[in-house]
């Protein structure tokens, strides 16, 4: 059961990142360009829900888009996953994850960093960056969300910067948007991240290795 709880935390993490739950029909939809990530999400869905309906397609931009049964979406929503567009509503990491054991916290963090983490491994810039965006009116909630992620990281021994402004701009629909970010630096924090948080995205795994064990 403990392993399944961690797997559930990972799926919840994806709903805060590249996945979402359809507002009306409550399908669980995951959009990611990396097919290895789709295989991993499929594996976890099957572990938790058995064989469920799955429709494979692409987004408007051509990115692989997998749509799972609304049985999956409804259950994830009952466990605290947001429904509908995350940039247009307040979101909060569920208490059972924020107050969970290290495996639960690690699984949630692994999912969101797999989807939305930036791992910079150049010789003159080694850092892990996390940023997120919402409509400008939700700036306070966005900051609270990033602070909750920082708190989870700190509890696993990973120290970060504070929350910083990234940019303010208008999207294609004319809505004013704001993005905020924080970052992780220093060898001891890279090592703690690598040892405590399992990421699965192949490119990010490789970059994390380069950050943790620079050759130069």
Whether 95 is covered by a domain: the verdict is: no
Q: What are phi and psi of 199, to 5 degrees?
A: -100, 155
| Tens of pLDDT, residues 69-121 | 999 999 999 999 999 999 999 999 999 999 999 999 999 999 999 999 999 99
| Tens of pLDDT, residues 160-170 | 999 999 899 99
Whether 90 is covered by a domain: the verdict is: no
- Please indicate, yes or no, whether residues 133 and 193 belong to a single structural domain of this protein: yes
| Tens of pLDDT, residues 8-44 | 999 999 999 999 999 999 999 999 999 999 999 999 9
Q: What is the pLDDT at residue 216?
A: 55
Q: What is the pLDDT at residue 185?
A: 96
Whether 113 is covered by a domain: the verdict is: yes
Question: Is 172's pLDDT higher than 90?
Answer: no
Whether 191 is covered by a domain: the verdict is: yes
- Please indicate, yes or no, whether residues 10 and 80 belong to a single structural domain of this protein: yes
Closest CA to 89 of 77, 97, 100: 77
0.85 cut: is pTM over it? yes
CATH number of the domain that residue 12 is part of: 3.10.28.10
Q: What is the pLDDT at residue 2?
A: 52
Q: How far is CA 152 from CA 101, 104, 158, in A?
A: 10, 10, 9
Whether 28 is covered by a domain: the verdict is: yes
Whether 91 is covered by a domain: the verdict is: no
Q: How many domains does the chain have?
A: 2
Question: Is 153's pLDDT higher than 90?
Answer: yes
On whether the CB atoms of residues 145 and 92 are closer than 8 A, the answer is yes
Question: Is 215's pLDDT higher than 80?
Answer: no
Q: Average of pLDDT values for 150-177?
A: 94
Q: List, in order, residues 6 or more apart from 187 with CB less than 8 Å away.
A: 212
- Please indicate, yes or no, whether residues 55 and 155 belong to a single structural domain of this protein: no
Whether 96 is covered by a domain: the verdict is: no
Q: List, in order, residues 6 or more apart from 143 with CB less than 8 Å away.
A: 163, 180
Question: Is 51's pLDDT higher than 50?
Answer: yes
- Please indicate, yes or no, whether residues 32 and 61 belong to a single structural domain of this protein: yes
Whether 174 is covered by a domain: the verdict is: yes
- Please indicate, yes or no, whether residues 47 and 133 belong to a single structural domain of this protein: no
CA gap 21, 44 in Å, rounded: 16
- Please indicate, yes or no, whether residues 140 and 183 belong to a single structural domain of this protein: yes
Please count the CA atoms within 13 angstroms of the CA of 168 that sit on its side-chain side.
7
Question: Is 3's pLDDT higher than 80?
Answer: no
Give the range of the structural domain holding residue 58, as residue numbers without chain letter: 2-85
CA gap 141, 124 in Å, rounded: 33
Question: Is 1's pLDDT higher than 60?
Answer: no
């Amino acid at each position: 059961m403990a392993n399944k709880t961690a797997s559930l935390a990972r799926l919840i993490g994806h709903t805060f990142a590249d996945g979402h739950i359809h507002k009306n029909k409550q399908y669980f939809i995951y959009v990611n360009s990396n097919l290895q990530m789709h295989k991993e999400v499929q594996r976890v869905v099957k572990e938790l829900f058995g064989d469920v309906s799955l429709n494979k397609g692409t987004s408007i931009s051509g990115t692989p888009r997998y749509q799972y049964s609304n049985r999956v979406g409804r259950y994830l929503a009952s466990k605290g996953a947001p429904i509908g567009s995350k940039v247009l509503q307040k979101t909060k990491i569920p208490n059972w994850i924020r107050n969970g054991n290290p495996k639960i916290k690690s699984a949630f963090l692994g999912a969101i960093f797999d989807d939305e983490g930036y791992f910079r491994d150049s010789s003159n810039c080694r850092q892990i960056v996390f940023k997120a965006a919402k409509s400008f009116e939700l700036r306070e909630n966005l900051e609270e969300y990033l602070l909750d992620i920082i708190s989870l990281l700190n509890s696993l021994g990973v120290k970060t910067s504070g929350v910083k402004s990234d940019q303010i701009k208008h999207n294609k629909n004319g809505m004013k948007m704001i993005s905020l970010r924080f970052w992780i630096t220093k060898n001891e924090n890279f090592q703690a991240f690598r040892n405590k948080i399992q990421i699965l995205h192949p490119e990010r795994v490789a970059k994390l290795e380069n950050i943790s064990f620079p050759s130069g």
